[in-house]
């Protein structure tokens, strides 16, 4: 049996990014990037279009370089599985301003809804706990989203949340694909100029 | 050239990176990098980040650059193979990328299993759009790395300095 949740991914991400202030967002390739885009394009969004497995490490580098601002990585179970080892790397660094949010539908949604490892029993919450993440959260109900949003802004400690979403493919909301543009506008929003 | 004339290239790797404004050194350890890694770990102004696999460093350094800071990836030639797909991120966003690669399977290699990746390392980097320079003599390390850092950070370049086995010295079987 393949497990997935029932939360609406677009509603969850829209709720998480409400009143975002100085929040910086890194999104994993595929549907999480569409979800972040659907919630509203923003200069402080960095969307990954490839480099599968890199969303969490981009977030780690960003949180380390900008320790006074909150950073959230919003990615999917498939993307996070490819960066499995990054959880160990991030657990050693423990930046207090970094939150990892895994939108977990238990499937590789972009490629035909093949069941993923998380849909067959591997739980990222348990992996993060084993790695020593100070805070690990499992969100299965809509009421769990607002406490997660507040935790992202609190910068009170490295944390990871698994959000159990429904396995469905929604209409794509395509982020800008010019990565040089997205990189430069992100840096300019922080006061850095292009080379 | 007497031993006193030979630059301490192991230390220079760290000194050149530090002078280039590097604040992040991401790495999978290799013996040839041991001195630079020890210095990086001891420096309170450097974030020394040990990775489980080399491509984590590409994402990490991209994030650090988004946040306004410079970094470098230290790895062995075998790790270049792990980085191939992720180097697409560097190419598409023109993230500055600076890596120092200690070679295996390059010269006087005792473990022939290192040879396939070692022989493919420089070509693999070039295939993914990374510019490369090779140092086989101690005197070349600092100037090549300094030049690579300039092209990475001033020109959004992807730059790799390869440290050859003739420079590092033969690795012997440990009995």
pLDDT value at residue B60: 99
pLDDT value at residue A134: 98
In chain A, which residues have their Cβ closer than 8 Å to the Cβ of B50?
89, 92
Q: What is the percent of chain A where pLDDT is above 70?
A: 99
* 8 Å CB contact of B68 and A59: no
Structural domain total, chain A:
1
**A49 touching B, CB under 8 A?**
yes
- Name the closest residue on chain A to residue B22, using Cα atoms: A65
Place of tokens 């604040």: B23
Describe the crossing of helices B9-19 and B138-153 by its angle, rounded to 10 degrees. Answer: 20
Identify which of B64, B89, B153 has the shortest CB distance to residue A54: B89
* Rounded distance between C-alpha atoms, residue A69 and residue B39, angstroms: 28
Residue A4 lies in a domain: no
- The string of pLDDT tens digits covering residues A62-113 is 999 999 999 999 999 999 999 999 999 999 999 999 999 999 999 999 999 9
- The string of pLDDT tens digits covering residues B138-167 is 999 999 999 999 999 999 999 999 999 999
In chain B, which residues have their Cβ closer than 8 Å to the Cβ of A55?
59
How many CB contacts within 8 angstroms connect chain A with chain B? 127
Residue A100 lies in a domain: yes
- The alpha-carbon gap from A98 to the nearest alpha carbon of chain B, in Å, equals 12
pLDDT value at residue B30: 97
Note whether B40 and B25 are within 8 A (CB): yes
- The alpha-carbon gap from B89 to the nearest alpha carbon of chain A, in Å, equals 6
In chain A, which residues have their Cβ closer than 8 Å to the Cβ of B68?
65-66, 187, 190-192
Q: How confident is the model at residue B46 (pLDDT cuts 50, 70, 90)?
A: very high
Residue A195 lies in a domain: no
pLDDT value at residue B128: 98
Note whether A95 and A51 are within 8 A (CB): no
pTM for the structure as a whole: 0.97
Residue A64 lies in a domain: yes
The b/e string for B82-100 (b: 16+ C-beta within 10 A; e otherwise) is: bbebbbbbbebbbbbbbbb
pLDDT value at residue B173: 63
Residue A137 CB contacts under 8 Å (≥ 6 apart), including other chains: A125, A144, A147, A148, A151, A159, A160, A161, A162
**Structural domains of chain B in order of their starting residue, each with its CATH number:** 3-168 (3.40.50.970)
The mean of the pLDDT values for chain B is 95
Residue A127 lies in a domain: yes
- The alpha-carbon gap from A118 to the nearest alpha carbon of chain B, in Å, equals 21
Place of tokens 């001891």: B42
CATH number of A163's domain: 3.40.50.970
User: What are the structure tokens assigned to A116, written together?
Assistant: 């993923």
Domain carrying residue A171? 9-189
Identify which of B50, B68, B89 has the shortest CB distance to residue A92: B50
**A154 touching B, CB under 8 A?**
no
């Amino acid at each position: 049996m393949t497990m997935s949740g029932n939360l609406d991914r677009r509603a969850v991400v829209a709720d998480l990014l409400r009143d975002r202030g100085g929040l910086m967002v890194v999104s994993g390739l595929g549907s999480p990037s569409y979800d972040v885009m659907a919630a509203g394009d923003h200069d402080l969004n960095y969307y990954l279009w490839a480099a599968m497995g890199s969303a969490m490490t981009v977030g780690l580098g960003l949180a380390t370089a900008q320790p006074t601002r909150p950073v959230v990585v919003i990615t999917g179970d498939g993307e996070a599985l490819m960066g499995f080892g990054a959880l160990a790397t991030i657990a050693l660094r423990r930046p207090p301003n970094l939150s990892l949010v895994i939108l977990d539908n238990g499937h590789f949604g972009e490629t035909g809804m093949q069941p993923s490892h998380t849909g067959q029993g591997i739980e990222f919450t348990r992996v993060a706990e084993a790695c020593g993440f100070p805070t690990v959260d499992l969100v299965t109900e809509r009421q769990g989203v607002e406490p997660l949003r507040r935790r992202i802004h609190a910068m009170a400690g490295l944390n990871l949340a698994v959000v159990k979403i429904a396995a469905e493919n929604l209409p794509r909301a395509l982020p800008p694909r010019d990565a040089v543009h997205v990189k430069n506008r992100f840096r300019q929003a922080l006061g850095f100029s292009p080379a | 050239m007497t031993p006193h004339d030979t630059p301490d290239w192991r230390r220079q790797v760290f000194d050149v990176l530090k002078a280039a404004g590097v604040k992040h050194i991401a790495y999978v350890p290799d013996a040839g990098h041991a001195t630079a890694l020890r210095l990086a770990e001891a420096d309170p102004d450097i974030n020394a980040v040990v990775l489980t696999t080399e491509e984590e460093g590409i994402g990490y350094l991209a994030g650090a650059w988004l946040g306004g800071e410079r970094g470098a990836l230290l790895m062995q030639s075998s790790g270049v193979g792990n980085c191939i797909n992720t180097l697409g991120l560097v190419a598409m966003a023109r993230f500055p990328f600076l890596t120092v690669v200690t070679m295996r399977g390059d010269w006087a290699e005792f473990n022939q299993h290192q040879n396939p990746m070692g022989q493919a390392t420089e070509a693999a980097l070039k295939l993914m759009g990374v510019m490369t320079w090779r140092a086989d003599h101690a005197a070349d390390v600092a100037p090549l790395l300094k030049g690579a850092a300039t092209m990475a950070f001033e020109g959004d370049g992807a730059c790799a300095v390869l440290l050859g086995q003739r420079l590092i010295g033969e690795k012997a079987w440990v009995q």
